[in-house]
Amino acid sequence: MIAPARRDEASSYPLRLAATLGQTWRRLMRTPSHSRRAAAARRASRHVVIMTALAAAVIVALMFTLDARVIQLMPPRGTASLWPARIVSDFGKSEYVLWTLLGVLAITALTLPRLRGRARAILIGWGDRLLFLFIAVAVPVLVGDVIKGIVGRGRPFVGGHANPFNYSHFAWTEAYASFPSGHAMTSAALALAVASLWPRLRWWMVGYVVAILMTRLLLLAHHPSDVVAGALVGVVGAMAVRHWFAARRLAFTIAADGAVLALPGPSAADLKKVARAAFAPYEAPSARRV
- pLDDT tens, residue by residue, 187-239: 999 999 999 999 999 999 999 999 999 999 999 999 999 999 999 999 999 99
pLDDT of residue 280: 65
Q: Quick check: is 176 in a domain? A: yes
Give the mean model confidence (pLDDT) for residues 31-38. Answer: 92
Cis amide linkage into residue 180, ω under 30° from 0 = yes
CATH number at residue 157: 1.20.144
Please report the pLDDT score of residue 255 as a whole number: 95
- As a whole-number percent, the residues of the chain with pLDDT over 90 amount to 76
The H or E element containing residue 157 is: none
In a domain, 154, yes or no: yes
At residue 4 the predicted structure's pLDDT band, cuts being 50, 70 and 90, is low
User: What is the CB neighbour count within 10 angstroms for residue 265?
Assistant: 15
Model pTM score: 0.91
Domain count, the chain: 1
For residue 115, being part of any structural domain is answered with: yes
What band does 94 get if pLDDT is binned at 50, 70 and 90? Answer: very high
- Residue 87: give the domain boundaries: 36-281
Q: CA end-to-end span of the chain, whole Å? A: 23
Q: How far is CA 12 from CA 8, 111, 179, 248, 279, in A?
A: 6, 14, 49, 30, 17
Query: Phi first, then psi: what are they for 205, rounded to 5°?
Result: -70, -35
How many Å apart are CA 188 and CA 182, to the nearest integer?
A: 10
CB 136 within 8 A of CB 241: yes
Q: What is the mean pLDDT of residues 116-133?
A: 92
**pLDDT given for residue 254 in this prediction:** 96
**What is the rounded CA–CA span in Å between residue 194 and residue 136?**
10
Please give the pLDDT value at position 70. Answer: 95
Bridge partner residues of 153 (DSSP):
167
Indicate if the pLDDT at residue 100 is higher than 80: yes
In a domain, residue 56? The reply is yes
pLDDT average, residue stretch 145-172: 93
The pLDDT of residue 188: 98
Q: What is the mean pLDDT of the chain?
A: 91
Whether 242 and 224 have beta carbons less than 8 Å apart is answered as no
Is residue 8 assigned to a domain?
no
Domain presence at residue 126: yes
Instruction: Identify the pLDDT of residue 1.
Output: 44
Amino acid symbol at 273: K
Dist CA 247 CA 245 (whole Å) = 6
Asked if the structure places residue 60 within a domain, the reply is yes
pLDDT score at 30: 93
pLDDT score recorded for residue 287: 46
Residue 98 within a domain:
yes
Using the predicted structure, report yes or no on whether residue 288 has a pLDDT greater than 70: no
Summarize pLDDT for 229-277 with one digit per residue, the tens: 999 999 999 999 999 999 999 999 999 999 999 999 888 888 888 887 7
